[in-house]
Amino acid sequence: MKNEAQPFFARQAWVAGAWARDVLLGVSSDGHWNRVEPHCTAAEQASAIQLAGPVLPGVVNAHSHAFQRAIVGLTERRTRGAGADDDFWSWRDRMYSAANCITPQQLETIASQLYAELLAGGYTQVCEFHYLHNALGGAPYADVAEMSLALVRAARRTGMGLTLLPTLYMRAGFADAALRPDQRRFASTPDSIARMVEDLQRHTQNDANINVGVALHSLRAVSPAAVKELAAYARQAQLPVHIHIAEQTQEVDECLVHTGLRPIEWLLEHVEVDARWNLVHATHATRDELAGVQARGAAIVICPATEANLGDGVFDLAGYAAVKGAWSIGSDSHVTRRWSEELRLLEYSQRLTQRKRNRAAQWLGAESSAAALLEAALRGGHNATGLPVRGIAVGQRADFCVLDANAPSLLGMPADHVLDALVFSSPDARFASVHVGGQPAALGNDAQFAQAMHALWGG
């Protein structure tokens, strides 16, 4: 018989889309919930570990580029020159300066700091869209997974769940046959990605909180033949698949010029997209494209803070909700690192464009916008990871966060409005503790992070 951990007791826990009272939470030896029982007895409470505040499920961060944590705050000054205008593409050039100087050791340090921050922000699984594969000069490492394994070590150091997505990146744009010189570290082929996946699966086969999928950087960065080749491999291996798509209007326009179709149109017409697929951003999608994504069972990954920071545009949440599409949330470039802030920005962007309030509640058929957004993000987390991480329910992984009940934004708050206050009242209430698979995670700063930043940027 398997041994079970001592159960937890929560006076208040988010279960099945609502607050439940006096909840006994049992964790099996494999780190999954085996008991979720509201209104437990006094005797059961006394025998359990007492959790000091309201308990929320951990949330999947479905889109991350860990190395970009190193440039947060360093790209917020305008480009010099007469008539110069900043947009995604000028930001990208600055981002490459980081991509071309980070070593595996520095990446591990940066990712360790990031993952501790993400855990502190309530994320318990991160999907790492990873294309920084090669050595500083662009030559392959002796171990094709050298940079990927730095991320694995960071996840293990902090206790973060990790879905690692080795990313195919082959060309600079639709009209190009090869990469730019400053993109040489990204160079890969369908075969090299497959080798990387299999190597990583061997390295992580005994770690229940780490799994592997694949990503295609974008249609502009991967040839049609290579898209189909890697998609076929992922289908055969039953791996999650992620792709950047329709993030900027320029990308949509160029795809039309070179293929005669919009990016999502092309993908749906030429590839067997199914429930394992996750379309990152899809900011500039038509209503028909959104309906097509939903009809295939695929999901969209929305990254509100990054999309705002880069000036990408506003996702059509109303149109996607109308077809009951699945979506998850991601922090992407990590200008924010809390899911509550991503959900707040998602709702506020809709309010600003619609000039009305409680848009998510209206479109998703709920009373509370915060509840509607959280529940949608939890459901989409399974699509992004292929793991049982859908919240506090029997059979799901035992990921949870305990709110600081004494946080200023929660003081005097009626119990049923705690989630609303968490999402829509600043300063954000902090999480006093976070557990992944029933085990406490590390929330503190990585002592080496400041040294790594000084080595990269000085100051």
> What gap in Å lies between CA 209 and CA 191, rounded to an integer?
26
Residue 243, strand partner residues: 216, 279
H or E element that contains 13: strand 8-15
Whether 332 is a known active-site residue: answer yes
Write the DSSP string, 12-55: EEEETTEEEEEEEEEE-TTSBEEEEESS--HHHHHTSEEE-S-E
Contact 212, 241 (CB under 8 A): no
> What gap in Å lies between CA 431 and CA 446, rounded to an integer?
18
Contact 160, 115 (CB under 8 A): yes
DSSP-derived 3-state class of residue 188: coil
From residue 151, how far is each of 165, 185, 279, 354 by CA, in Å? 11, 16, 22, 40
CB burial readout 16-28, b (16+ within 10 A) else e: eeebbebbbbbbb
Contact 241, 234 (CB under 8 A): yes
Which of 273, 371, 281, 379 lies closest to 325 in space, CA to CA? 379
Burial (CB count within 10 angstroms: exposed 0-12, middle 13-18, buried 19+), residue 254:
middle
Task: Say which of 32, 130, 281, 284 is annotated catalytic.
Answer: 281
Tokens of 79: 């480009």
Largest CA distance in the chain: 73
DSSP-derived 3-state class of residue 342: helix
| Helix residue ranges, H only, 3-121 | 42-46, 88-99, 104-120
Whether 281 is a known active-site residue: answer yes
Contact 182, 217 (CB under 8 A): no
Which residue reads 């340090």 in tokens? 109
- Which amino acid type is present at position 432? A
- Residues with a known catalytic role: 281, 332
